[in-house]
Amino acid sequence: MSRHRTTFTVNGQTQCVEIEARRTLAETLRENCGLTGTHVGCEHGVCGACTVLVDDAPMRSCLIFGVQVDGAAIRTIEGLAAADGTLNALQQAFQDHHGLQCGFCTPGFLMLATWMLERPQKITEASLREVMSSNLCRCTGYQGILDAVRAAARRLGRWDDAGAISTPA
């Protein structure tokens, strides 16, 4: 099967890869770029563990082919912390609120929440549950994840209290 030269950036670094047309973006990131922080949980677009940001929009990297992101700017979990490893506000909130157990789904939730924190609309209780219900976690029962995103949003001034339906203590 023929290979295609594809160029894009990941976390600001240019990547130039030769890939088969059928290779997914998730495989491209993991196998060709060596970025194994993006996890593949189902390969059919349901679990969301492989969520990355493509030109700042969350996408399931198992559902798009590597060749489709030619020219795009990709962001993955490896780009969240500072160069010295210091966790960013969202990552730190996940640790503080026990938003992860086994950590396998965590990359997808972090990238989805990153998108929510960066978009113009502030986060409300309703939008939080709606958007976060895109992804599956099997360990936490979700509460730690939601608590973490709430805390990070408050800290970053991205929480809309007016939209709050219920806020657990």
> Residue numbers of the site for another protein (CB under 8 A)?
1, 20, 22-23, 27, 30, 35-44, 46-47, 49, 76-78, 80-81, 85, 87, 91, 94-96, 98, 100-107, 110, 129-130, 132-146, 166, 168
Vertex 167, ends 125 and 144: CA angle to 5°? 85
Question: Which residues are bridge partners to 95 per DSSP?
Answer: none
Residue number with CB closer to another protein (69 or 135): 135
* C-beta closer to another protein: residue 42 or 57: 42
**Least distance between another protein and beta carbon 16 (Å):** 19
- In the complex, the smallest distance separating the C-beta of residue 100 from another protein, rounded to whole angstroms, is 6
User: Which residue intervals of 21-105 are DSSP H helices?
Assistant: 25-27, 89-96
Closest to another protein by CB, 7 vs 95, is 95
- Measured from the CB atom, the residue of 71 and 135 that comes closer to another protein is 135
Alpha carbon distances (Å) from 22 to 1, 53, 63, 65: 9, 20, 11, 6
Q: What is the nearest approach in angstroms of another protein to the Cβ of residue 1?
A: 7
- How many angstroms separate the CA atoms of 109 and 22, rounded? 26
Cβ-based neighbour number of residue 85 at 10 Å: 6
Residue among 12 and 71 whose Cβ is closer to another protein: 12
CB of 148 to another protein, least distance (A): 10
Cβ atoms < 10 Å from Cβ of 39: 20
Closest contact distance (angstroms) between CB of 102 and another protein is: 3
- Per the listing, tokens 């949980």 go with 41
Query: Amino acid letter at 25?
Result: L
User: What's the longest Cα–Cα distance across the chain?
Assistant: 56
